[in-house]
Amino acid sequence: MIIKSKHISCYGCKLNKNNYCYWFDRPKVIPRDVINKGCKHREAKVDSMDTTEIVAHIINTFNGEIIQ
């Protein structure tokens, strides 16, 4: 079963390293009010994954984000 990530926080973004955003020329600290909602430049660490029905159910139930 393949499941897609539904959430778009900075936590699931390839550009987030130690709470610094590397999208800019010089990395910038991600503000607390942004880190949970993400931004339009987000590049997902994992867009989708092959998983079991129970894991897919948990992710769907809690509207989760797939992070590896």
Reported as half-sphere exposure (CB side, CA atoms, 13 A), residue 7 has a value of 17
Please tell me the distance from the alpha carbon of residue 60 to that of residue 62, in angstroms, as a whole number. 6
Helix (H), strand (E), coil (C) string for the chain: CEEECCCCCHHHECCEECCEECCCCCCEECCHHHHCCCCCCCCECCCEEECCHHHHHHHHHCCCCCCC
What pTM did the predictor assign?
A: 0.67
Digits of tens for pLDDT over the chain (68 positions)?
A: 887 777 788 988 999 999 999 999 999 999 999 998 899 999 888 777 788 898 888 877 877 776 65
42 within 8 A of 8, measured Cβ to Cβ: yes
